């Protein structure tokens, strides 16, 4: 049975690679759900490349700074494991002679799901990044029974990376909910390349590309175009 339309409604933001814009998409999702009057929660189970949730490189810190409802709150509750070196969680944890306890991640998601809807879970790197000695990021998506939304670059190379990510998920009977392209570089991707990338991704994956998120100047007020893309992700699937 394909895993789309989860009972929990929790969302897993996955990437085709590292640095593709997962945190920005997570921010837009948080703002979207708060704007609807919902009570979402942001969770980064595996944060690497920073000392703690208050570090300038912390994704949770970035989210809390740019969601008005969270601005005075403590971001540490949104990070389960934090390791200093910017590596895959397996190796970042190993460098500190630590082991990642996946039961702890599952317990946090279960607890937060009781008080929040949805829990927006941001992955680390791509879907085949190793988490411990036996599991990859894709296994965590399956374990947490969350709806995956794929974040991909908008420009050259994204067709290959995105289709590989979709195939990896489908091999586990996990159907991606939607795909969002991120175009955050100073020089925007040419329109003809955007059209071709979207055409190829949709044709060969069967998954809808919700749209393209361009470079954002003000993360507190990303703009109506960002709102439109996020609305398109959930079009006809969310209660009004």
Catalytic positions: 44
How far is Cα 208 from Cα 121, in angstroms, rounded to an integer?
A: 21
DSSP, residue by residue, 105-120: HHHHHHHHHHH-B-EE
Q: Around Cβ 201, how many Cβ atoms within 10 Å?
A: 23
How far is Cα 218 from Cα 229, in angstroms, rounded to an integer?
A: 17
Minimal CA–CA distance to 88: which of 139, 138, 131, 117? 131
How far is Cα 136 from Cα 139, in angstroms, rounded to an integer?
A: 5
How far is Cα 136 from Cα 173, in angstroms, rounded to an integer?
A: 15
Identify the three-state secondary structure at position 183. Answer: strand
What CA dihedral angle connects 169, 10, 29 and 139, to 10 degrees?
-30
What CA dihedral angle connects 27, 28, 32 and 33, to 10 degrees?
-30
Identify the three-state secondary structure at position 208. Answer: coil
């Amino acid at each position: 049975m394909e895993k789309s339309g989860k009972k929990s409604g929790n969302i897993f933001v996955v990437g085709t690679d590292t640095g593709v814009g997962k945190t920005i998409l997570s921010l837009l999702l948080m703002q979207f759900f708060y704007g609807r009057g919902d009570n979402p929660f942001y969770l980064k189970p595996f944060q690497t490349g920073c000392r703690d949730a208050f570090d300038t490189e912390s994704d949770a810190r970035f989210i809390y700074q740019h969601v008005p409802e969270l601005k005075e709150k403590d971001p540490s509750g949104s990070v389960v494991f934090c390791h200093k070196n910017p590596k895959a969680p397996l190796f970042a944890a190993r460098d500190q002679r630590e082991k990642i306890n996946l039961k702890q991640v599952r317990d946090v998601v279960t607890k937060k799901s009781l008080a929040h809807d949805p829990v927006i879970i941001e992955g680390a790197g791509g879907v085949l990044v190793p988490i411990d000695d036996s599991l990859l990021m894709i296994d965590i998506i399956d374990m947490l029974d969350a709806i995956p939304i794929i974040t991909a670059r908008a420009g050259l190379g994204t067709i290959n990376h995105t289709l590989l990510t979709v195939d990896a998920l489908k091999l586990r009977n996990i159907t991606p909910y939607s795909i969002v392209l991120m175009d955050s570089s100073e020089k925007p991707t040419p329109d003809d390349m955007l059209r071709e990338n979207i055409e190829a991704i949709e044709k060969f994956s069967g998954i809808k590309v919700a749209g393209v998120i361009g470079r954002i100047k003000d993360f507190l007020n990303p703009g109506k175009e960002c709102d439109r893309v996020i609305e398109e992700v959930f079009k006809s699937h969310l209660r009004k």
